[in-house]
Chain A
């Protein structure tokens, strides 16, 4: 087994984390097949970066980071192919309307933001993470995230940020 994950460990990690990966991937990609592709790709990255994963004080931050990066890459690639979202499946998303609105808004933002900005925006708007949590997920300083969120907020207002677009329980 490469990079220090046994088959048993990998299976256990998959069973534990894949449903959440899928939920987030579907929220961003809005297509089941693409969301499963994203889960698969994120798991392979986990396999490749097992040592880094093990060093995480909060393993879920690694899962969020990798899944977000994979999905945003797919979203960019799909934007080039102009693939339309599909109708929601029975298990697609937890917050159907909010997720679709949020995802459409992120697609708008994607035209204006660099890679890091879009990742921050995704964690902020789609996942509803606090700035502290975003800093932990991305391994950046809180100060950097505060600056990024300020910049993104200004842009979001200019683009007509929908009301209550932020995800999560709050």
Chain B
């Protein structure tokens, strides 16, 4: 024991300096060359700063809704609902969300509503929705804003992020970017 304890303490301190210290500093130095100095990617719009990758709550009918969130898009305490698939209380919440959506979007077919619009994401901060989730909201937004549907559909098309190299992953839309562009249309 004795012959091990001092090397153990000393080598731990060396590791502390190297792995917690130097390794972090190298990364911190490199981050000064990255976008926004490694403080998180941002969009600056009308003098206001938004984080590109951190989703925002959109419940106003004038905007494309973002996904439901278990933490109301609180980015200082992110999290998911952690509800199991068979939980009766959870399934009631889903049904309520569906009904609310139908009330705010009259004339929409239930079978056109994709599940990402009524389920909460893992982080509660999902910045994206699926393309179908955007399309199903066009009618509502066109009516409230008095814009032609075609213009909004065009906007969705130009904001669709394709899979990596067209081959890998999902199609998706950053809701914040889409809504900023939507505000510019008026």
Task: Tell me, yes or no, whether A binds B.
Answer: no
Q: Spell out B's residues near A (CB within 8 Å).
A: none
